[in-house]
Amino acid sequence: MPNFGFSIHSPTHIDLDKNYRTIFNYVKVKEPSIQKCIFCGSCSATCTASNYSAMSLRKVNLLLHRGMVQEVRSLTEQCLLCGKCYLVCPRNVNTRRIILLIHEALKMPLS
Amino acid sequence: MKFDWFVLPFLSGLSFVTVYTSVKFYRWINKLSRGEKALLKKYIFSRSIWTSIKEIFSESLFHLKIFKTHPLLGYMHASLAFGWFLLIVLGNIEVKFYSEYSINPPYVPIFLNFFEPTTAPNFFGRGFRFIMDFLLLIILSGVALAFFKRFVPSKFGMKQNMRHRWFDRIAIFSLWFIFPARLVAESLSASIYHNGSFLTNTLGKMMSFLPAETLLYPSWWAYSIILGIFFFALPFSRYMHIPTEVLLILMRNAGIRSRYFSHPYQEVETEACSRCGICIDSCQLTSIGYAIQPSYYLRTIRYNELHREITDNCLLCGRCVEACPVGIFSTDIRRHERTLQHEMRTVKFKFNQNKFSNTYTEVLYFAGCMTHLTPGIKKAMTTILEHSGYSWQILDEDENICCGRPLLLAGQISAANQVIIHTRTQIEKTRAKILVTSCPICYKTFKENYRLNMLIMHHSQFIDHLYTHNRIATQYRNVNVKYHDPCELGRGANIYVEPRRVIEQIANLLPSSSEKNKAPCCGGSLGNTMLQAEEKKLIAKRALSEMNLTSADLLVTACPLCLKTFSAVSSVSVKDLSQLVAENICEKIPNNAQKIHKAVETL
């Protein structure tokens, strides 16, 4: 078959029943306040790291739910842990601890 | 050679302690790096060793710092330590009057009344027996106080006692029983041989109804066994601090500090902690029910227990370090352990390098992350800078950058270094003369980690500088103000005077019982990642009640984070120092006119 230079996207379908939730569960057990998040985006709006990167805690939480580890890693590594997100959070989610726990989980051999 | 079988428990215990301690000391010193060893060696053979010897006497034996905490508590510790020390030293001198040998085995002075039952019939003989009785009485009073302290710590200036483990309890009880056992043995001996003084003779007479001859020998055995138990328990219990504190003082004065987790200096610190529990009262997390204070934390390190959450659950406010009578830098230990837990070596930041201005101004203002959340401070600083007459600019006007301290406190050193290098490049590009920051957290980092070639000032220092150079003038208001020392500015950077001088220019500064190095933390500290928001609020409320704001109209602080935390819970209005100045700033008036103005106002 002649090659026309076209290809098909790899499937981006996310199966919410089967996706990788290990990191999310690890964080959830140690810091239950992550479940209080209402995805309002206040944290992303104040984020110091968002000046130079795509870091957004709201997005991180969403990606955690979807089990997209690589994206979570590349985002959370840009965090400066300044804690502004914690101060503005209307739901009092302990954001700095969540980032540290994600780092911890990413260092574990399974992930 | 004088000998009896009953000295064996004592003698074996003593030799065990000696051997164990020497091996430990040798290992610690051996583990130091070559430079540190040289430092220690140089210090020991220098003249400044005398300050250490003085400190060993005043702190290890006399416990001067505990006297300052509470006199009765100080007396309790000093009577036991200094009293016992004198008992041993004078006992060794006393032996010289009885023995023909110049060197005696160590048990002879301890059991002198057994080996030399008849008092030397001269002034010195009787005098020494009197002194020994007197010292024993002082130590016994210390033991009695220690006993009562278990039940009523409040009488000793402490809110609560340390909760000890069973092994420590064995050591404590054996220590408590040493001296009553000695008293009993010497009194029985006095009732037979009349070789005591005011205490033992009297007690001996009172015990005359007992069969003293049959009880005397077992009582010496009991005394020796209790000593033996204490010595065998010493290296594994809290009492290891007795020998270790001496080494700690030497190392600290030689300038050695722990640089990473389980550095030998830190191991010395962990064993030098006597778990006296003074840090427990100073810690603000005690009241919300966390046992994370240095006493407990160092214990978990020493016995290799799991303590991850304890390490992270600390405000790093430094109140425990100020209170510690031994001088242990427990916050440093925590930071080093966090590095072990949270270090991320894969982090690579991609900062925008060329987004910042490089125009030259005299003053460079760095607001800092937290100030961006309290824009009132930034606005106030803008007003002050306008009036100052300096040319100025804001470094992080819309492009917010971090100083790197949050990462440092969380233990991510390699990431923090990248941030520091980036921010330093931005600051140096402007070639400013003075760097002013509103945030004590940034200030401390600039001072300690940046090696900048310019004057670094916290805004309280800068405003004070403006006053002394007569660059701004303010109106005097008749309001009562209390000042809260932020942790990082006060205990962290030792700035207490300047903010107070500034406030006194504008308002009445009220004194507070908990200020300067005893000031409470607002609870919002970046050092803690474990606390929930409700707990932080509780800490802030308790800090406010500790400062007692009933007579104050206004609470002034000098940290954006403290301002934010306090204003959420305070009934009194809270302001930053810069806001207070900016609100009362007036157009500059010449010196004389200002004086007249003041005189008119007082009329």
Chain pair A-B, CB pairs under 8 angstroms? 76
Residue B549 CA to residue B555 CA, distance in Å, equals 8
Q: Hey, where are the domains in chain B?
A: 5-242, 257-342, 363-466, 473-602
Residues of A in contact with B526 (CB under 8 A): 81-83
Q: Mean pLDDT of all residues in chain B?
A: 91
* Among candidate residues B133, B97, B108, the one with its CA nearest the CA of residue B6: B108
Closest CA of chain B from A13, distance in Å: 29
pLDDT at res. B588 = 66
Cβ neighbours of residue B399 closer than 8 Å, sequence gap 6 or more: A51, B352, B355, B356
Answer whether residue B342 shows pLDDT above 60: yes
User: Within a 13 Å sphere around the CA of B234, how many CA atoms are in the beta-carbon half?
Assistant: 23
CB atoms A51 and B412 under 8 Å: no
8 A C-beta contact, residue B397 and residue B426 = no
Residue B93 CA to residue B116 CA, distance in Å, equals 14
> Which CATH number is correct for B363-466, 1.10.15.40, 3.40.50.300, 3.40.50.1860, 3.40.50.720?
3.40.50.1860
8 A C-beta contact, residue B38 and residue B257 = no
Residue B212 CA to residue B210 CA, distance in Å, equals 5
For B193-224, give one letter per residue: b (16+ CB within 10 A) or e. Answer: bebbbebbbebbeeeeeeebeebbeebbbbbb
pLDDT above 90 covers a percentage of chain B that reads 73
Residue B476 CA to residue A108 CA, distance in Å, equals 60
For residue B563, give the chain A residue with the closest CA: A87
8 A C-beta contact, residue B554 and residue B338 = no
Q: Hey, where are the domains in chain A?
A: 22-107
- Diameter of chain A by CA atoms? 59
**Tens-place pLDDT, residues B581-591:** 999 998 765 55
Average pLDDT over residues B241-258: 95
CATH class of B473-602: alpha beta
B330-342 vs A95-107: helix axis angle to the nearest 10? 50
Residue A95 CA to residue A89 CA, distance in Å, equals 9
Answer whether residue B3 shows pLDDT above 90: no
Closest CA of chain A from B347, distance in Å: 6
Residue B297 CA to residue B321 CA, distance in Å, equals 13
CB atoms A100 and B342 under 8 Å: yes
For an interface test with A, which of B400, B561, B564 has the most A Cβ atoms less than 10 Å from its Cβ? B400
Answer whether residue B86 shows pLDDT above 70: yes
For an interface test with A, which of B529, B534, B535 has the most A Cβ atoms less than 10 Å from its Cβ? B529
Distance of CA B518 to the CA centre of its chain: 11
Confidence of residue B595 (pLDDT cuts 50, 70, 90): low
**Tens-place pLDDT, residues B493-536:** 999 999 999 999 999 999 988 888 899 999 999 999 999 999 99
Residue listed under structure tokens 């999310």 = A24
Are the folds of B363-466 and B473-602 the same? yes
Confidence of residue A93 (pLDDT cuts 50, 70, 90): very high
Residues of B in contact with A80 (CB under 8 A): 402, 404, 406-407, 415, 419
For residue B215, what are the CA distances in angstroms to B197, B203, B220, B365? 20, 15, 9, 81
Q: How many residues are recorded in chain B? A: 603
Average pLDDT over residues B127-149: 94
Residues of A in contact with B531 (CB under 8 A): 94
CB atoms B401 and A51 under 8 Å: yes
A111 touches chain B (CB under 8 A): no
State the first-to-last Cα distance of chain A, in angstroms, to the nearest integer. 40
Answer whether residue B547 shows pLDDT above 60: yes
Residues of A in contact with B532 (CB under 8 A): 33, 92, 94
Residue B453 CA to residue B362 CA, distance in Å, equals 13
CB atoms A80 and B402 under 8 Å: yes
Sign, CA dihedral B257-B263-B268-B269, equals positive
Least-confidence region, from B97-101, B206-210, B264-268, B338-342:
B97-101
**Tens-place pLDDT, residues B347-361:** 888 887 766 777 889
Residue B348 CA to residue B524 CA, distance in Å, equals 28
**Tens-place pLDDT, residues B372-384:** 999 999 999 999 9
A108 touches chain B (CB under 8 A): no
pLDDT at res. A4 = 85
For B336-345, give one letter per residue: b (16+ CB within 10 A) or e. Answer: bbbbebbbbe
Residue A3 CA to residue B366 CA, distance in Å, equals 58
State phi, psi for B458 to the nearest 5 degrees: -80, 155
